[in-house]
Amino acid sequence: MKFVFRKSYLVPLVIALLALSAFAQEDPNPDSPTPSLLSSHDRTRILAVNTRGWDGGIPSTGTAAFRPSATNSVTVFVSNLDLMSSEGVNSIQVYLTQRSGKVFELQTEQLIEVAKNVHALQFRIYDPAGYRGQPVPDGDSLINITWRGLTSNSLKIGIGSTGGGIKLPTASDIAPSGKRNQSAELVGYQYAGDRVRFLEQAAFGPSSSEDLRIRRIGLRTWLADQFDKPYPTFAYPNPAQMPTAPPANCSLTTNPTCYRENYTMIPLQKWFFTEAFYGNSQLRHKTAWALGEILVTSGVAIQQSSHAIAYHKILSEGAFGNYRQLLGNVTLSPTMGQYLDMARSTKSNPNENYPREILQLFSIGLFMLNQDGTQQLDQQGHAIDSYNQANINELSKVFTGWTFCNFTCANSGNGIINYKDPMVLVPGNHDLGAKTLLNYPGAQNTVIPACASCSSDEEIKDYANNSLQQALNNIFNHPNVGPFIGKLLIQHLVTSDPSPAYVGRVAAVFNDNGSGVRGDLKSVIKTILLDPEARGNIKTAPRYGKLREPVQLITGLGRIFPAKDYFGEIRSEGAMASYAANLGQDPFNSPTVFNYFSAQFIVPGTSILAPEFDLMNTGNAIKRTNFLHTLIFEGLAANATDSLRGTSLDVSEFIPAAQADPTGNQLLDLLNVRMMHGAMVQAQKDAILTAIQAVPENNPTLRTRTAIYLIAASSQYQIQR
């Protein structure tokens, strides 16, 4: 058959190419060079001098020991920093490790290019956070730097004096167990490790089909396709809106099915996991989940699933839109109105809950920020409040008068709260007095005048709506919003403790997407995912990455090893919420407006910012291991409360590797790529091989599940890096 090319085919082809033009740039090179600290003549001690006496060049010899001090500046020298024009000293973190094991994050000052491929890095031997006190004179310590998720070599530096016998780490302590096999990866986006990492960040896990697709088309084209993908793949559940109190014929005792479908989050939870396991629009689903952990509502306070489904639709529809529009839709959401009490806020009884949280959690945070997310400090070195109680009092007046549309809207009904249509204004409940808004550098229209002449309901509605828009614009244009929201999205998608430089790059795009538009979430998400700190075949910085929160621990495995029903025959019904809840994260039932975990959580006794570790304790650590054992070896049996079919993992793709090589190496090499980005260290590989070889060769399925379990239960896997 001869194919005839027709002109009619050309039009859709051109349209498609134009749609992708914004993403037509070459994919980022995932592998940044590894930074290297220059050493003195013995190659174990860092080449360092006191900044005060430094002459601007690279010295032939350095100083061996330094006094820890908040004012004493030290200069060291770094090679292999291929900096972008926007990168400076805030892209570098400096860590000092003493013999006691204490680690200090030192205060950086300047980064100066002194020769081709060599920079002078200046810092103070002082931890400004002070979580573990300051370094003490203790002889030799180890110093290293991190940049873009990569760690440099470690070298000795004397603190007060030299000596003490501290040892340098060996290459095997941090090196992956094998080199990347590039010969098999020369089509499209060739780096298998970074493809897997990307799909952990941009999706709910790296399925084989999506991994192969990115290998063929590259990251940017995949993103362009995802931004336009229809959503959802599986229709939202559509439970009826019910009376606030369950009627007699829909109680847990008289009709448990009715109760579960209408007065619990189970319908939404099952749909959510089904969409995460099998849905085509992974990026929107992942972004909506992240936004739901920032703009929090909860079924703990509102039992009906209809409210949570309506709210999730707001987040998913706004995931790639403008943050200002999303903030407006969230503000008038009846779900948010119920959760944070705006629906009950009147001029005679203004409520502070929503005004407080829209500032503290949804937009600007507690303290004034630089564009890179670091706190601005006053002359005494103290953080500067971004708002005060007077601001909340004034803002609460703006938010008075809105309530549920229970009578005149499309989804109104007798005896129910309408959670589907936006809230409407009751004119008599709105405060008509003057209001003062946030005042910050560049702020405009900071005063809403009183409406002394308002006499009709229509005039009051116009005044109230204009006041609301002015207040939201005032909040949205605050300089904190870009770094505050940008950092939260980085934390949810990529890494818990991003460098200030990374935050600054994302905030810059939030402030202006390149076309003069502020708050363009599509551009923000793309910037987060393509940033060099996100990309890379191997990340070696110890603090890089994030603990897999329970939901994403489950979905990640369910996409690598396709989730099936308990018998491994058809797809799972997604009844995984009770298991996630047992691990500390009950989906759509956040315990507080601060989410399941605090974005500011610091691992106790350290300076490590690690929000998801707020869920981790001894009990939950054991529960995670036990859950993984059941899921991987046995599958989750049918549960009358949640599901009729249960859930198991399909490992059939990996069994041939176990059959082909009795040593277990082929199997482990394959799992290393698919689960660990190729970053498994030799000690981990040796330990798992021993366990694999203890399983009879004639049982490749058990060998495969044993290897999967030992990887999944390891800290190396549970930290998504």
pLDDT tens, position by position, 526-542: 999 999 999 999 999 99
Res. 9: pLDDT tops 50: no
**Token digits of residue 492:** 């949810």
| pLDDT value of residue 373 | 98
DSSP designation for 420:
S
DSSP label at residue 683: H
What is the C-alpha to C-alpha distance for residues 627 and 636, in angstroms, rounded to an integer? Answer: 9
pLDDT digits 0-9 by tens, 593-606: 999 999 999 998 88
How many DSSP H helices and E strands does the chain contain? Answer: 24, 18
Cβ count within 10 A of residue 274: 20
Which region among 32-46, 188-202, 681-695 has the lowest average model confidence (pLDDT)? Answer: 188-202
Scanning the structure block, which residue is given the tokens 């308990």? 566
Residues 6 or more apart whose CB falls under 8 angstroms from that of 644 comprise 573, 638
| Number of structural domains found in the chain | 2
pLDDT of residue 605: 82
Looking at residue 107, what is its pLDDT?
93
Domain stop point among 123, 153, 169:
169
Angstrom distances, CA of residue 300 to CA of 413, 479, 587, 719 = 24, 33, 11, 29
Closest CA to 152 of 78, 89, 226: 78
Place of tokens 């007060």: 160
- pLDDT tens digits for range 285-298: 999 999 999 999 99
The residues, any chain, with a CB within 8 Å of residue 277's CB and separated by 6 or more, are: 204, 555, 558, 559, 562, 563, 571, 572, 574
Question: What pLDDT was estimated at residue 354?
Answer: 98
pLDDT value at position 61?
A: 92
Diameter of the chain measured on Cα atoms:
87
CB contact at 8 A, 153 and 159? no
Q: Is residue 21 pLDDT above 60, yes or no?
A: no
Boundary of a domain, candidates 117, 142, 169: 169
Q: Is 347 within the bounds of a domain? A: no
Vertex 83, ends 82 and 85: CA angle to 5°? Answer: 145
What's the distance, Cα to Cα, between the start and end of the chain in Å?
50
Angle at alpha carbon of residue 206, lines to 646 and 599, rounded to 5°: 90
Tell me the pLDDT band of 645, cut-offs 50, 70 and 90. confident
3-class SS of residue 91: helix
* In contact, 125 and 68? CB cutoff 8 Å: yes
Nearest CA-CA partner of 340 in 305, 311, 306: 311
Q: What angle do CA 403, 404, 408 make, to 5 degrees?
A: 120
CA of residue 501 relative to chain centroid, distance: 17
Is the pLDDT at 577 greater than 70? The verdict is: yes
Q: Are 80 and 57 in contact (CB under 8 A)?
A: no
| 5-13: long-range contacts, CB 8 A cutoff, minimum separation 24 | none
Per DSSP, helices labelled H in 361-426 are 389-398
Give the whole-angstrom CA distance, residue 612 versus residue 598: 8
pLDDT per position as a tens digit, 140-193: 999 999 999 999 999 999 999 999 999 998 765 555 654 444 333 333 466 789
pLDDT band at 70 (very low <50, low <70, confident <90, very high): confident
Among residues 541, 562, 458, 470, the alpha carbon closest in space to that of 499 is found at 541
How far are the Cα atoms of 116, 560, 595, 694 from residue 653, in angstroms, in the given order? 49, 10, 37, 22
Rounded to whole angstroms, the Cα distance separating 42 from 160 reads: 20
H-helix or E-strand spanning residue 157? strand 155-159
Flag whether 138 is in a domain: yes
3-state helix, strand, coil in the chain (%, to 5): 40, 15, 45
Across the range 623-647, mean pLDDT stands at 84
Residue 569 falls inside a structural domain: yes
Report the sign of the C-alpha dihedral through residues 258, 260, 264, 265, in that order. negative
Q: What is the CATH number of the domain that holds 54?
A: 2.60.40.10
pLDDT level of residue 497 (50, 70, 90 thresholds) = very high
Instruction: Indicate whether 258 belongs to any domain.
Output: no
Within a domain: residue 501?
no
User: DSSP code of 245?
Assistant: S
Q: Cis check for the bond before 232: say yes or no (omega within 30 of 0).
A: yes
Residue at 632 is within a domain? yes
- Out of 130, 152, 169, a domain closes at 169
Range of the domain at 580: 546-720
Query: Is the distance from CB of 28 to CB of 535 less than 8 angstroms?
Result: yes
Structure tokens at 145: 């730097």
Coil/strand/helix, residue 26? coil
Mean pLDDT of the residues in the chain: 92
Within a domain: 238: no
CA–CA gap between residue 640 and residue 236 (Å, rounded): 22
pLDDT tier for residue 407 given thresholds of 50, 70 and 90: very high
Angle at 67 between CA 64 and CA 69, to 5 degrees: 140
| Contacts (Cβ under 8 Å, ≥6 apart) of 173 | 681
Whole-number pLDDT of residue 48 = 97
d(CA 230, CA 278): 14
Local confidence band at 607 (pLDDT 50, 70, 90 cut-offs): confident
Give the CA distances from residue 485 to residues 291, 364, 499, in Å, rounded to whole numbers and listed in that order: 10, 8, 15
User: Does residue 688 form part of some domain?
Assistant: yes
Helical H segments across 589-644, by residue range? 618-629
Residues 698 and 297: their CA atoms lie apart, in Å, by 51
In terms of pLDDT, which residue wins out, 675 or 26? Answer: 675
Q: Residues 171-184: pLDDT tens digits?
A: 655 556 544 443 33
pLDDT grade for 303, boundaries at 50, 70 and 90:
confident
pLDDT at 435: 98
Indicate if the pLDDT at residue 422 is higher than 80.
yes
Asked if pLDDT for residue 581 goes beyond 80, the answer is yes
91-122 residue pLDDT tens: 999 999 999 999 999 999 999 999 999 999 99
pTM: 0.93
Instruction: Using alpha carbons, select from 679, 667, 674 the residue that is nearest to residue 704.
Output: 667
